[in-house]
A and B are shown apart, each in its own frame.
Chain A
């Protein structure tokens, strides 16, 4: 299957799945916007019929203003040599309760790793994913840290102390009326 055939195939896909939008960004990059309900079917088709056997990654983007999470499934076809990014959006819940979505583990095995990652970092629960448990953050009790509403800098300042320096030269400057003028935290851009 080469690129042209893929294009043709994507055109036919338009007919099969509703509300799908295909944008070709470059020769080897295709962006597909698809509603959450149709995504598993799309991936199924991609893997089964269009040789997109390699799930490169699943990325999650938090859009708190839209009250949505964006999930991006990057699939690669070894034959068509083309990368297809399927974008979908799911409703975002508060940090206390999980957002829910379906797992694509039964289509792509590597999904398990990424889904667990998103589960930890964003608090999205993937139904029927095999490892919905903590992995990297086993000893973390806070909210899912990658959510935009978690202010890491604030948390760090509340939790940790900083080294307290009093070198000789600074003391001498302070005696002369100088000393620390602008701390780095005062001017964070």
Chain B
């Protein structure tokens, strides 16, 4: 660096040096806006198709510049994680910090390189803008600041939960996942952007954003309070819920290079429920119980999630509730359908215990229609809820499916479940374990029976020989991805796109299942009409074939007269939205109305209880 000598005045001709500036290139830019830099933060763009309306941008905006606007013609489907809300930007507030871009879970909102907007004093409305693909003036071609992996502000990946290795778990029924540690739970909860998609998509509208926030704040009791607002089966749902919330979660995105996993809402629920002492949960549940008694009596048939939820709600409202259960213990399908490694009995027991502690009475081993007639219930009670679930499996009705070694999955699961009623030992399910078996169906029930039998096979024969085959392609399997993954880990073979044609018999014993390759499952109108490639035939050898393609209800308990009175729809009892049947004292809820799913059953229980409460209040 040149040092200055300021005593040096220089020559008198010094100013002439300045003539050189005439020869220099002028720095003046042409009039009119220059193109901005590649990542310039100009006016907003929003991909209306990509945007899911989660309003996360609104939450991060430090200037309260973003208003969510309802755009009616867009898709509004919170169950699949999309709302018809779109951000509108107030340029009287915005500071172009691009935090909205960095936090957007889907990368829909972006900034353009456009930066000129002027308006007359009376046109200030133009400062409030609904950004679209083409920017503020509909002329934008180039994007400016966009989302990249580096500037993404969201934590895209779940906390890794400890779980048993496949080799450790395959020969026993111990619970597979460990659950979150407190630190993990707080970290996982902190990932939530509080969009509320989970709340909207949940059948029973659990307050997931609230309880996640409570967990994040370290207040698990508050979280449990939020859960008991809507779900008395939080222990169960914390383990085996179909978690539509996680499907809908804003963070459940596929189109991003960095990947994006939804918040583990189900595991957070489980964490909070496990973290609060059982007695405290009882207190929380009881705190909402109404002090007044209405004097109304309600009978509920079936002590499954739907029936017990309705019982819980009704008893909270001050009614008297009597539950009748055909089997020896409460829980319904959650006990007799879900294997122990997914839902340990003592966990289910806790949920049931909370409900019982509210004052619900259950009469076990009482089959309506056999032990007590429906008419009797009608006489003795003000209202009856039919929450009998789906007890019997559907059959494929292919040749050979009436053989004694062709079983339905629910039936076997019930046997496995019943065993645990009496003896803790898991060795003997009460039927002979086949050395090899093939399961037809790609749903969770198929996985459950497949994995349960695989465990027995491992215990008894030391090896797993289990095949699950379904008509769907692998990506369309109805079962949870994690179920499929774990099944494969446990040595189960899964073969997609096979249509079962015949159960092959040999010497009166099942030899195997003959299948054809599926070309397409649905026809052009979307109806179920599978097309097969008959040349691609395959035989799965097995001693037992298990059908897990769906369940149905046994409704013979109703009696002929009542069956006549009721209106039916496609083999199911026709009910209104509130679960009321066409008979004014009978309501129906749960799987037998709405298909197999715990959380739907819970939602149904609430609806029915609400409806009954209203109906009874009117009577009073």
Contacts and interface: CB of A to CB of B under 8 A. Distances in A.
A167 interface: yes
B64 A185 contact: yes
Interface residues of A, number: 21
Contact of B72 (A167, A176, A187, A188): A176
A165 B91 CA distance: 11
Contacts of B39: none
Contacts of B71: 173, 178
Interface stretch (B121-129, B159-167, B333-341): B121-129
Interface in B108-138: 124-130
Residue in A169, A178, A181 with the greatest tally of chain B CB atoms within 10 Å: A181
A189 B213 CA distance: 11
A173 B69 contact: yes
A25 B308 CA distance: 58
Nearest to A162: B92
B69 A167 contact: no
B55 interface: yes
Interface in A171-189: 173, 176-185, 187-189
Given A167-B125, A167-B129, A182-B85, A187 B58 contact: yes
Contact of A182 (B68, B73, B90, B128): B68
B124 A163 contact: yes
A169 B129 CA distance: 8
Contacts of B61: 184
Contacts, number: 63
A48 B61 CA distance: 49
A14 interface: no
Contacts of B130: 169-170
A166 interface: yes
Contact of A170 (B59, B65, B69): B69
Contacts of A170: 69, 88, 128, 130
A180 B72 CA distance: 11
A183 to B, nearest CB: 6
B75 interface: no
A184 B73 contact: no
B92 A163 contact: yes
A170 B58 CA distance: 18
A180 B66 CA distance: 11
Q: State the main secondary structure of chain B at its contact with A.
A: mixed
A189 B62 CA distance: 10
Contacts of A184: 58, 61, 64-67
A167 B58 CA distance: 20
Interface in B47-68: 55, 58-59, 61, 64-68
B70 interface: yes
B366 to A, nearest CB: 50
B124 A180 contact: no
Contacts of B128: 165, 167, 170
Interface footprint category on B: 20 to 34
B129 A180 contact: no
B125 A182 contact: no
Interface string B73-89: 10000000000110010
Nearest to B123: A167
B590 to A, nearest CB: 34
Nearest to A185: B64
A183 B67 contact: yes
B44 to A, nearest CB: 14
A188 B64 contact: yes
A167 B61 CA distance: 21
Residue in A166, A169, A179 with the greatest tally of chain B CB atoms within 10 Å: A169
Contacts of A183: 67
B72 A178 contact: yes
A137 to B, nearest CB: 24
Given A182-B85, A184-B58, A188-B64, A165 B69 contact: no
Nearest to B71: A178
Given A184-B61, A187-B58, A187-B59, A167 B68 contact: no
A39 to B, nearest CB: 36
A173 B70 CA distance: 8
Nearest to A163: B92
B67 A180 contact: yes
A178 B67 contact: no
Contact of A165 (B64, B66, B90, B194): B90
Interface string A60-88: 00000000000000000000000000000
Contacts of A163: 90, 92, 124, 127
A187 B68 CA distance: 11
Contacts of B124: 163, 165
A181 B55 CA distance: 11
Residue in A163, A177, A189 with the greatest tally of chain B CB atoms within 10 Å: A163
Contacts of B58: 182, 184, 187
Contacts of B65: 184
B69 A180 contact: yes
21 contacts: A163-B124, A165-B125, A167-B125, A167-B126, A167-B129, A168-B125, A170-B88, A173-B70, A177-B72, A179-B70, A180-B67, A180-B68, A181-B69, A181-B70, A181-B85, A182-B55, A182-B85, A184-B64, A185-B64, A187-B55, A189-B194
Interface of A: 163, 165-170, 173, 176-185, 187-189
Given A181-B85, A189-B194, 10 more contacts: A167-B126, A173-B72, A178-B72, A180-B88, A182-B55, A184-B61, A184-B64, A184-B65, A184-B67, A187-B58
Q: Which 5 pairs of residues, A with B, have the shortest CB-CB distance?
A: A184-B64, A165-B128, A182-B68, A178-B70, A167-B125
